[in-house]
């Protein structure tokens, strides 16, 4: 069932999203060559605690950390640990915040120091794909209109969209209906209505779209080892432009 939020609920998600935005900005700033992914997680934990919010991912289906840090060929669900970030890495940071009964979920990808042209382009195209998708998030459109727009944008830049993982509704649960794929579907899927709250999250690769799961049973890699980037916003559908929470 797709849940439509009341204006009061949207307001709470806006506040929660504001906190998430701040946290992501702080973390983004700390991602540099030499930092371990565990330290990034510890930083998130500290900032989350200071603000009195809860990290949405920790314990979600047993996920062991507060943040996902996915590097290079890792698409999503990179588990923080001893790995150290290196110059030239493509690092995706994905974070969810639970505040007053509602989740918001967002991700950014950054290049560490000097990155090669292909990495920089992958990051820019993925960011652009999210912005392009948001142009179609509007009451009356179909979920598939958003999906199709993202795919078209990505493929015309020569990259590929991951198909095995999708965006989703977000709210009282981290993952609500509907799924929001990043491919195909123009004029299909559920109709967007005012008050729906969605996490739109293109995951893009510089090679093939197929993925595989690491031995830790979480981390998603590109099957061919190509680079991947990920951007995510949590938004509310309106009759005009979407309201971006984070």
Site for ligand MF3 in 108-167 (CB under 6 A): none
Candidates 54, 63, 179, 212: give the one binding ligand MF3 (CB under 6 A).
63
Burial of 60 (0-12, 13-18, 19+ CB in 10 A): middle
Site for ligand MF3 in 183-222 (CB under 6 A): 199
Q: How far is the CB of 171 from ligand MF3 (least distance, A)?
A: 12
Least Cα distance to 200 among 145, 120, 121 occurs for 145
Letters for 10-39 (x = contact with ligand MF3 by CB under 6 A, - = none) are ------------------------------
The reply to whether 105 sits near Co ion by the rule CB under 5 A is yes
Residues 167-196, buried b or exposed e (16+ Cβ, 10 A)? bbbbbeebbbebbbbbbebbeebeebebbb
Distance in angstroms (rounded) separating the CA atoms of residues 38 and 159: 30
Q: How far is the CB of 167 from ligand MF3 (least distance, A)?
A: 8
Least Cα distance to 216 among 80, 97, 119 occurs for 80
Q: Which is nearer to ligand MF3, 31 or 69 (CB)?
A: 69
Cβ–Cβ < 8 Å for 224, 180: no
Q: How far is the CB of 32 from Co ion (least distance, A)?
A: 25
DSSP state of 206: S
Q: Which is nearer to Co ion, 103 or 221 (CB)?
A: 103
The reply to whether 57 sits near ligand MF3 by the rule CB under 6 A is yes
The reply to whether 77 sits near ligand MF3 by the rule CB under 6 A is yes
Largest CA distance in the chain: 47
Binding site residues, Co ion, CB under 5 A: 105, 199
Residues in contact with ligand MF3 by CB under 6 A are 57, 60-61, 63, 68, 77, 94, 105, 107, 168, 199, 232
């Amino acid at each position: 069932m797709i849940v439509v939020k009341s204006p009061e609920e949207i307001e709470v998600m806006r506040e929660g999203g504001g906190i998430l935005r701040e946290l992501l900005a702080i973390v983004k700033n700390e991602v540099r060559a030499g930092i371990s992914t565990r330290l990034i997680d510890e930083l998130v934990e500290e900032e989350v605690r200071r603000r009195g919010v809860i990290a949405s991912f920790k314990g979600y289906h047993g996920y062991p950390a507060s943040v996902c840090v996915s590097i290079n060929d890792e698409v999503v669900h990179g588990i923080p640990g001893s790995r150290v970030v290196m110059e030239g890495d493509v690092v995706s940071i994905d974070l969810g915040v639970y505040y007053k009964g509602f989740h918001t979920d967002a991700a950014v990808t950054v290049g560490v120091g000097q990155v090669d042209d292909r990495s920089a382009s992958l990051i820019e195209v993925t960011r652009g794909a999210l912005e392009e998708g948001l142009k179609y998030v509007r009451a009356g459109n179909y979920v598939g209109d958003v999906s199709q727009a993202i795919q078209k944008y990505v493929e015309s830049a020569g990259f590929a969209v991951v198909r095995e993982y999708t965006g989703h509704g977000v709210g009282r649960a981290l993952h609500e209906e509907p799924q929001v794929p990043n491919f195909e579907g123009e004029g299909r899927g559920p109709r967007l209505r005012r008050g729906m709250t969605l996490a739109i999250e293109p995951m893009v690769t510089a090679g093939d779209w197929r993925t595989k799961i690491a031995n830790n049973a979480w981390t998603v890699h590109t099957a061919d080892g190509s680079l991947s980037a990920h951007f995510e916003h949590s938004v509310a559908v309106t009759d005009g432009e979407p309201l971006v929470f984070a």
